[in-house]
Chain A
Amino acid sequence: MNAMDISIAAARAVVIFGLVLSLIPVLIWMERKGAAYIQDRRGPNRAHILGFRLGGLVHMLADALKLLTKEEVTAAGVMKPLVFLAPALAFFAATATVAAVPFSGPISVAGQTLTLEVANMKAGLVYVLAISSLGAYALLLAGVTSQTSYSFLGAMRAASQFISYELALGMAALALFLVAGSLSLTDIAADQGAVLWRWNAFRQPLAFLIFMAALFAEASRLPFDLPEGDSEIVGYHVEYSSMRFAMFFMAEYAHIIVGSAVVAALFFGGWNIPFADQGLIAANAERIAAVAWPIAAVVLMLAGASIAQRFKKRFGDLRDYEPVMIGLPMMIAGVTLAILYAPLGDVILSTRWLPAAVTFVLGFTAVLAKTLLIASVFVWVRWTLPRFRYDQVMAFGWKILLPAGMLNLVVTAAIMLYLG
């Protein structure tokens, strides 16, 4: 092990963790805009930095700053270190699971095979289950250290729900191990390949449904959001305020992002694009790039124009100029791309690393698109479904998901045996 290895390892970890961390505000923005869309209103759109509102994304920054500067109320008689430990643990358990998730297919560069992932662990999915099972401690500690009966009751209910659905999660994962013959997320994604009906969402529909339902419950999202049920239940975090409180929700969104990435790898082929496998993309990289370049130029020009023409005096401050400030640079970029095509096109299109770059970009885009699409299902469900009652949640987990998982496992083994 030399300095090179260490720096590559550190770079992998930092890049992937940064990706997850930067997706959290994006998902919160998606949530608020999605809620606004479903409830027929506009959602966050006022806050700005120098006139740039970015469709309301700046609000997330404002929220973070506001929460950080709020007063932290620490109730008398609580166990101080544990009160601080609980939200940190929730966040840790939600983000550290990302280590096993592949964000791009294997790319061969200069004789080496690289993948955008922290590690291709042989026990990848088991690692994910293990780390996420530590989330139960965050719930228990938060509730118990607060020294009130309400948070204690909330913690017990939350932890009971959490551990019940962990079983269903494990059962659904077992069927996937069976199909792929490996515990590694990268292997499971690679095993599905680029053929649409070989994706596990179609080969293992029952496991998919169980896994999704359990993931909703693990992240305590509607319809299973009893641990935090904002409107009627006093949850495990009554005694929490300011950013310490918000950590639980950051953990929830991190859980959704990592969970969606895991589902994308497990059930939707990860980096694979339907009917265009990695070899095909690498072989036709030059053609893809040659087509994508002018399309990108035209799209940039048109999009820039359509944004810029929305310029109107509305606020009376810098925000009025936002469409122009964003639209014009986009148009200029589009025109520049189009002009550069003539002198630089042949040079870039014939470089040696083009196939690797094209496969990487397409694979990474596929993973990101699938992840955000699955995450948007979480948003969609949250704002359209009512909440279960607690006994219904427990009955659903123990009486439906767990037996269904067992049945799915046995049936999968039987089918695999029959098909050889």
Chain B
Amino acid sequence: MGQEFLAVIILLIIAALTAVGIVAASALIGRRVSPEERNIPYECGLDPASRPFGRFPIKFFLVGVLFLIFDVEVVFLIPWAAAFRGSASLGNGAVLAVELVVFVSLLALALVFAWARGALEWER
């Protein structure tokens, strides 16, 4: 573990402390005169008629799953992309490029399927 890793840790700690500190300062400094009615969650001035959770459009879930799949694709490609230039200079570039084309076209196929089945359409 070097000095740089330590610097990153310190930065993370500073950032977290600042974030929490500002929120806490706001909670401590702010004045408090809240009447009861103001503490009702916002619903256009009416008494809340609904709970937030419950049945919800499936398209948000679909976006989440598709995001997961393509995010894993990007993550798989990260080490590959880092190695490409070095391998290309050693003459292995063609092999890696073929790997890339196969991998990306598999995922492109998934995207085409999602597109064709309307998983990317929001208004449906």
Contacts and interface: CB of A to CB of B under 8 A. Distances in A.
Interface of A: 1, 5-6, 8-10, 12-14, 16-17, 21, 67-78, 84, 87-89, 91-92, 95-96, 98-99, 118-121, 126, 144, 146-152, 156, 160, 163-164, 166-167, 170-171, 174-175, 177-183, 234, 238-239, 242-244, 247, 250, 390-391, 394-395, 398-399, 402-403, 406, 409-410, 413-414, 416-417, 420
Interface residues of B, number: 72
A contacts with B: majority SS: helix
Contact of B23 (A5, A88, A96): A88
Given A119-B4, A402-B70, 7 more contacts: A88-B16, A89-B19, A92-B15, A177-B82, A244-B23, A409-B100, A410-B104
B42 A10 contact: no
Which residue among B6, B56, B74 has the maximum number of chain A CB atoms within 10 Å of its CB?
A: B74
A402 B70 CA distance: 9
A84 B4 CA distance: 31
29 contacts: A1-B3, A9-B4, A10-B10, A13-B14, A17-B11, A17-B15, A69-B31, A70-B31, A88-B23, A89-B19, A92-B19, A99-B8, A160-B64, A163-B64, A175-B81, A179-B85, A181-B84, A183-B78, A183-B82, A239-B42, A247-B22, A247-B23, A247-B26, A391-B122, A398-B66, A406-B107, A409-B81, A413-B100, A417-B93
Given A17-B15, A234-B42, A420 B88 contact: yes
Nearest to A254: B15
B12 A174 contact: no
B111 to A, nearest CB: 7
Given A72-B27, A167-B67, A417-B97, A118 B11 contact: yes
A227 to B, nearest CB: 14
Contacts of B23: 84, 87-88, 243-244, 247
Contacts of B7: 8-10, 12-13, 99, 118-119
A181 B86 contact: yes
Contacts of B3: 1, 5-6, 8-9
